[in-house]
A and B are shown apart, each in its own frame.
Chain A
Amino acid sequence: MNKLERKDFLKLAGGAVAGGLVGTTLSGAPFNALQWLVEWTQDQYRPTGGSETFRQGVCSACGTDISVRLIGDRAVKVETANAGCPVCQTLIQILYHPERVRKPLKRVGGKGSGRFAPVEWSEAIKDISDKIKELRAQNKAHTVAAFNGAHNMLAGALVERLLAAIGSGHVYNEPCFCSLSAKAAKLTQNSEGALDYDFENSDYVLSFGARLFEGWGNQARMHRVLNRWKADGVKLVQIDTLGTRTASMATKWVPVKPGTEAYLALGIAYKLIMSYGKGGNLPELGRWPGINDFNPEKVAELTGVPAVTIDEIAREFAGARRAVAVAGRGGEMVSSSVGEIIAVQCLNKLTGRMGVPGGVFVKIKNDRLGAVRQDAAAQAGMAATRKAKGLDDFIKNGEKPELLFVNDANPVHTSVFGKDLAGKMKDIPMVVAIMTMKNDTARYADYILPSLTILESKTARGDAAVAPRYSAKHGADIILEIAKSVEGVAASFPWSGYADMAALVGVERRPQGNFNLNIEVLRTYLDMLKKNLEGAAEMPLALIPYEIPLVGNGASLSLPYVLKGVGREDFAFERLIVKMNPETANAMGACENSSVKLKSSRGKTASLKVHLTKTVAPGVVAVPMGFGHCESTRYAEEKGVNPLEIMTANIDPESGTADWWFTRVKLS
């Protein structure tokens, strides 16, 4: 073999390199490499595959059957087959939320610092039960209190039972239409249940600010009702200050001056008695001299609804076969006083719509858990309990509890006294929050106990769709464990788990025709209303709340897909948007997109953006609810403003709940 010359070698090597390059290029490898580079630089996640299965479940928010699609063991979609509510669709996001509480959390920082460390269940339960034992031993059982979330059937019933067994009556529900109307039913019908309208059989619906298709009541049901109304040509008359979607969907929208719904109800009642001969059904109202203040001319002046319209509504209402008048202003968050609900109920009574198909029923809690066995300490505690009228009353005027349970509620955000409550909670020795994700109230807790989400919970109708994640437990199971660890309390809790009890708690609709008008309650309310409406001249505007679809009271704002659905006229570019009539804006020197702050006698909001629309009455500022969380996962925190902080805080003497519907404000 010849010796390889230097030159030849170079040639050969050069040829090899060139050939290699050409070959590599033609093979497509560099292009593949670029493609990999693209994917690598983007680091894109690929969902893992698996076999597809469907599991049946129930959405406890609306009671609809759902079908959960799983890929392997991952739940990826909830199918509702044209039923259900928007919450059904968010269940996956709730289930897999990265900020779910995974283990019991114990406060490590100062109260309200929001710093927590995970602990074992046994440690948390022992600590809590020790506190209960200590209070009972010191004859302070009545200083245990609990806040229940609005729609929390089983766990809510158990919390109530736990406190009864411990010896305290301080159980308060987050205000909702059920809790408010239950107070009205108690006063007028001597019933323990909430009002339940038989929409399925009505043919004429007169709604006093109840935004029936925007979160009011059970959304799945209201959507079914809507379809029936459309099919049967049921007439819906919507009385509302804002041109909401419900108002636009109604057969007729009756714009009303802010906060004067009760006046209009009484005006219609006056017409029913005086012109349509319905007085016989409720002679007390006809005999009340005050009713004469509500003749159509006067009411037209008070409410801005023309006398002829009032007459027309009264005539139609009197003439309809199955009419019903609906109270409960708002959507998911209802703000009505007992007096106002009673005023609306008068219409149902006058036309004989109580307890009949298409009219008003009463929804009574059907609790088959059995009687609570109270020992001596419990009986003493019950005797010492001075129960407040309601949640807001308790926050404002109640005595300071020593131990507070917060069961899936968020009064720090949803109560007008949220800030006061936050301040008070710092002084409560022990606060136990039971919830799936930290919220504004949990920030001030000592323990946060993780509860299950809807998809992980068994129901009376069957197994859970998805196995429980982390070490979360069902709210009822948590209460059960606490109860069982306290001697003297355990006896009232013989069940082994929440599945045993699921069928024992429910509601039952009952027809109840009796109605005793409590004129005194009505009169007190009318006085309060008059005082509230007569604002000082320096507060020329009325603040009226509205809710954004899906956002509702703001609890779901922690779900990114809900956040993604908020429209450009509600919350855009990190700014909450209030709505005003162009006339108002002109008079106040505001314009589209200008920044304003709202000031009421209670305080001032942060800056808000203005959107002009004639769906809002002149002189009114419409503000969306649900924003302005201080603690509610990174998705909801520090976004927008919570208008409740400046809203009217007059506590309704009957329900013990603040009626914040109407607030006098000015721009600043």
Chain B
Amino acid sequence: MNTIIEFVKTEWNSFSKKTKIALLVLTALVGLFGIFAIQILFWGLGYTDMNNTFAMGLWIIGDLGFVALGGGAFFTGFLLYIFRVDKLEPLINSTVLIGFMCYLFTFILLVFDIGQPLRAWFGYTYPNWGPGLMPQSMLTEVIWCLTFYFIVLCVELIPVPLKHKILDKIPVLHYTGHYLHRLMWIMAAVGTFLSFFHQGSLGGGMWDVLYAKPGWWRAHHQFFFMAIVAATAGGTCFMIMVPKIAERIMKKEVAPKESFYTLARISGVMFTFYFIFRLYDVYTMAATYVPMADRSFADTLGGYYGWTTLIPELLLCLVPITILNVKKLRENEKTLFFAVICGVTAIVFSKIGVVLNGFSVPNFPWRGFAGYFPTVQEWSIMIGSVATMILIYWGFAAYLPLFPHMKEQESEE
């Protein structure tokens, strides 16, 4: 016991002043998360600004964002283990960890978001499968795929801590880690399959099936696949962005430059696809789908969240498209960093637009656009989740072999 306290003390004293402040702030945010979590779970969702018109809000945006960005994990795994893009190997641990945390917090936010968290298991025991093989409710599909993929991510993550120098000395753990690692391509394949479905359903299919809501409804395959492309584009950017931030903080190279450039190149291509897809989506919405409800597309983009999310999204998309597809710009540290931040923001904007504008569009001609201002409870739980993720990532980066490349370099030195 004393050794642990001693260890914590020495560690704490070894931190710089800035690090200490950052740690304290993050811990405080996690504390707020805890306090408001109790309030929400015990006294209900009345404390949020969601209402019968604006039935979902910040947390669902969080879910959509986490899943789409965490989707970089499945795509990177897919590229590495199935397509054998070996240059991505140094990034895969970080990728798996980010994916794991994104999915974990998607679950946590979902539990907060449903009115009856104690009945959350109904999703497994009373699933709405319908008559055929495909589930009838997009949310059923999301729950099941999310669960299975989360299990896959857990299995994928286990080898990372097992590689720690202390744990690695225990033979059982060493071999477990080793064999799990060798099985990883199966995991990647299963994960890709699962992720493919729930990326499409949570980001797209869930909304486009709401046929009575002109703000959302469109051809199912269209929005479904667009969400998958969005996840591959935004996710890969996110998988570059996070280690790059870690690199800037730790002032050490966490992975070979080549790894980043490879992933960035793929991301650039995906963003090009996404942009074309999105333009086609906007065109079909305006030309075909919204007019079928006798409304104009421009009309559904009024309010606070219509044009204000669509235009930034499209503009931000252009940044990774230009930078990541040009070798010179891609291999410049500054422009690369800028591009991936823009890419991630673009995808986040698209998710904000889907949720907020969809709910904001008035259902009756005599109503105006609805507004939504998340309460302190909603913000705290949302930001607290992100803070927890940062702390976990920090712990992994500092104390576990998250970046094998960094260790290799250290030993070389």
Q: Do chains A and B touch in the complex (CB under 8 A)?
A: yes
A binding-site residues for B, Cβ under 8 Å: 31, 34-35, 37-38, 41
A28: nearest chain-B partner, CB-CB:
B125
Would B118 and A34 count as touching, CB distance under 8 A?
yes
> Does chain A have a CB within 8 A of B121?
yes
What separation, in Å, do the CA atoms of A115 and B125 have in the docked complex? 55
Which chain A positions have C-beta within 8 A of B118? 34, 37-38, 41
Enumerate chain B residues within 8 angstroms of A38, measured Cβ to Cβ: 116, 118-119
Q: Given known contacts A34-B118, A34-B121, what 9 new A-B pairs fall within 8 Å (CB)? A: A31-B121, A31-B125, A34-B119, A35-B119, A37-B118, A38-B116, A38-B118, A38-B119, A41-B118
**Between-chain CB contacts (< 8 Å), 11 pairs:** A31-B121, A31-B125, A34-B118, A34-B119, A34-B121, A35-B119, A37-B118, A38-B116, A38-B118, A38-B119, A41-B118
Q: From B117, which residue of chain A is reached at the shortest CB distance?
A: A38
SS class, residues of chain A in contact with chain B: helix
A38 to B116, CA, bound (A): 8
Q: Measured between C-beta atoms, what is the minimum distance from B39 to chain A in Å?
A: 14
Q: Which among B116, B118, B119, B125 has the highest number of chain A CB atoms within 10 Å? A: B118
Q: In whole Å, how far is A21's beta carbon from the nearest beta carbon of chain B? A: 17
Hey, which chain A residues are within 8 Å of B121, CB to CB?
A: 31, 34
Residue of B nearest to A34 (CB): B118
User: Please, which residue of chain B has its CB at the minimum distance from the CB of A39?
Assistant: B118
Cα distance A179–B35 in the bound complex, in angstroms:
60
Q: Name the A residues within 8 Å of B116 (CB-CB).
A: 38
A32 CB to closest chain B CB (Å) equals: 12
Tell me the nearest residue of chain A to B368, going by C-beta.
Answer: A592
Expressed in whole angstroms, the Cα–Cα distance for A31 and B118 within the complex equals 10
Tell me the B103-139 residues at the A interface (CB within 8 Å): 116, 118-119, 121, 125
A38 vs B121: C-alpha distance in the bound complex, in angstroms? 12
- Expressed in whole angstroms, the Cα–Cα distance for A38 and B114 within the complex equals 13
Contacts of B125 in A (CB 8 A): 31
Q: Which residue of A lies closest to B125 (CB)?
A: A31
For the complex, what is the distance from the CA of A335 to the CA of B192, rounded to whole Å? 75
Contacts of A35 in B (CB 8 A): 119
A31 to B119 alpha-carbon distance, docked (Å):
9
Chain B, residue nearest A42 (CB): B116
Min Cβ gap B119→A in Å is 6
B119: chain A residues within 8 A (beta carbon) = 34-35, 38
Please report the total number of B residues contacting A with Cβ < 8 Å: 5
Shortest 3 CB-CB contacts between residues of A and residues of B: A38-B118, A37-B118, A38-B119
Q: Whole-angstrom distance from the CB of B83 to the nearest CB of chain A?
A: 41
> Which residues B123-167 have CB closer than 8 A to chain A?
125
Question: What's the Cα separation between A433 and B125 when bound, in Å?
Answer: 60
A139 vs B134: C-alpha distance when bound (angstroms): 92
A568: nearest residue on chain B (CB-CB)?
A: B367
How many angstroms from the CA of A45 to the CA of B159 in the assembled complex?
51
Inter-chain contacts of A31 with B (CB < 8 A) = 121, 125
Closest to A41 in B: B118
B248 CB to nearest chain A CB (Å): 46
Bound-state Cα–Cα, A37 to B116, Å = 11
CB distance from B44 to the nearest CB of A (A): 9
A399 to chain B, nearest CB (A): 53
Give the shortest distance, in Å, between A219 (CB) and chain B (any CB): 26
- Report the Cα distance A33→B118, complex, angstroms: 11
B348 to chain A, nearest CB (A): 30
A41–B118 alpha-carbon span in the complex (Å): 9
C-alpha spacing A273/B118, complex, angstroms? 79
A112 to B121, CA, bound (A): 56
* Closest Cβ–Cβ distance, residue A593 to chain B (whole Å): 11
A34 vs B126: C-alpha distance when bound (angstroms): 15
- Chain A: minimal CB distance from B19 (Å): 41
Give CA–CA (A35, B119) in the complex, Å.
Answer: 7
- Complex: chain A residue closest to B367, CB-CB: A568
Give the distance to chain A from B114, nearest Cβ to Cβ, in Å.
Answer: 12
A37–B125 Cα distance when bound, in Å, is: 17
Q: How far is the CA of A490 from the CA of B299 in the complex (A)?
A: 76
- Residues from chain B with a CB closer than 8 A to the CB of A37 are 118
Report the separation of the CA atoms of residues A37 and B119 in the bound assembly, to the nearest whole angstrom: 10
Chain A's nearest CB lies how many Å from the CB of B208?
A: 31
A36 to B121 CA separation, bound complex (whole angstroms): 14
Cβ distance A63 to chain B, nearest Cβ, rounded Å? 36
Q: How far is the CB of A26 from chain B (nearest CB, A)?
A: 13
What separation, in Å, do the CA atoms of A37 and B41 have in the docked complex?
14
Tell me the minimal C-beta distance from B72 to chain A in angstroms: 35
Chain A residue with minimal CB distance to B41?
A: A41
Bound together, the chains give a CA A230 to CA B171 distance in angstroms of: 92
Q: How far is the CA of A146 from the CA of B118 in the complex (A)?
A: 59
Q: How distant is the Cα of A177 from the Cα of B329 in the complex, in angstroms?
A: 84
A41–B44 Cα distance when bound, in Å, is: 11
In angstroms, how far is the closest chain B Cβ from the Cβ of A655? 41
Given the complex of chains A and B, what is the CA–CA distance between A31 and B124 in angstroms? 12
A34 to B118, CA, bound (A): 7
In the complex the two chains form, what is the Cα distance from A41 to B116 in whole Å? 10
Report the Cα distance A41→B125, complex, angstroms: 21
Question: Which B residues are CB-close (under 8 A) to A41?
Answer: 118
Closest beta carbon of chain A to B365's beta carbon, Å: 16
CB distance from A248 to the nearest CB of B (A): 15
Residue of A nearest to B42 (CB): A41
Shortest distance between the CB of B366 and any CB in chain A (Å): 11
**Interchain nearest-CB distance for B175 vs A (Å):** 24
How long is the Cα–Cα vector from A41 to B115 in the complex, in angstroms? 13
Q: From residue A41, how far is it (CB to closest CB) to chain B in Å?
A: 7
Shortest C-beta distance, B353 to chain A (Å), equals 26
Task: Give Cα distance in the complex from A174 to B245, angstroms.
Answer: 76
A34 and B125 CA atoms in complex are apart in Å by: 13
Q: With the chains together, A83 CA to B77 CA distance in Å?
A: 71
- Nearest Cβ on chain B to A40's Cβ, whole angstroms: 10
Q: Give B351-390 interface residues, CB cut-off 8 Å to A.
A: none
Q: Please give me the residue from chain B that is nearest to A38 by CB atom.
A: B118
Which positions 285-323 of chain B face chain A at CB distance < 8 Å?
Answer: none
CA of A35 to CA of B121, assembled, Å:
10
A38 to B44, CA, bound (A): 13
Q: How far is the CA of A605 from the CA of B404 in the complex (A)?
A: 71
Complex CA distance for A204 and B121, rounded to whole angstroms: 66
B249-276 vs A, CB cutoff 8 Å, 1 = contact: the mask equals 0000000000000000000000000000
Chain B residues in 8 Å Cβ range of A34? 118-119, 121
CB B370 to nearest CB in A, in angstroms, measures 12
Complex Cα–Cα for A283 and B125 (A): 87
- The CA-CA distance from A31 to B120 in the complex, in Å, is 11
Complex CA distance for A41 and B119, rounded to whole angstroms: 12
Min distance, Cβ A446 to any Cβ of chain B, angstroms: 41
| B51, chain A: closest CB distance, angstroms | 11
Closest B residue, CB atoms, query A592: B368
Q: How far is the CB of A591 from chain B (nearest CB, A)?
A: 14
A655 to B79, CA, bound (A): 91
Instruction: Give the docked Cα–Cα distance between A31 and B126 (Å).
Output: 12
> In this complex, what residue of A is CB-closest to B119?
A38
CA distance A498 to B27 in the complex (A): 72
Cα A392 to Cα B118 in complex, Å, equals 60
CA gap between A41 and B117 in the complex, in Å: 11
Q: How many angstroms from the CA of A34 to the CA of B116 in the assembled complex?
A: 11
CA of A34 to CA of B119, assembled, Å: 8
Q: Name which residue of chain A comes closest to B118, CB basis.
A: A38
User: Please, how many angstroms separate the alpha-carbon atoms of A134 and B274 in the complex?
Assistant: 94
Min CB gap B46→A, angstroms: 14
Shortest Cβ distance from B97 into chain A, in angstroms? 31
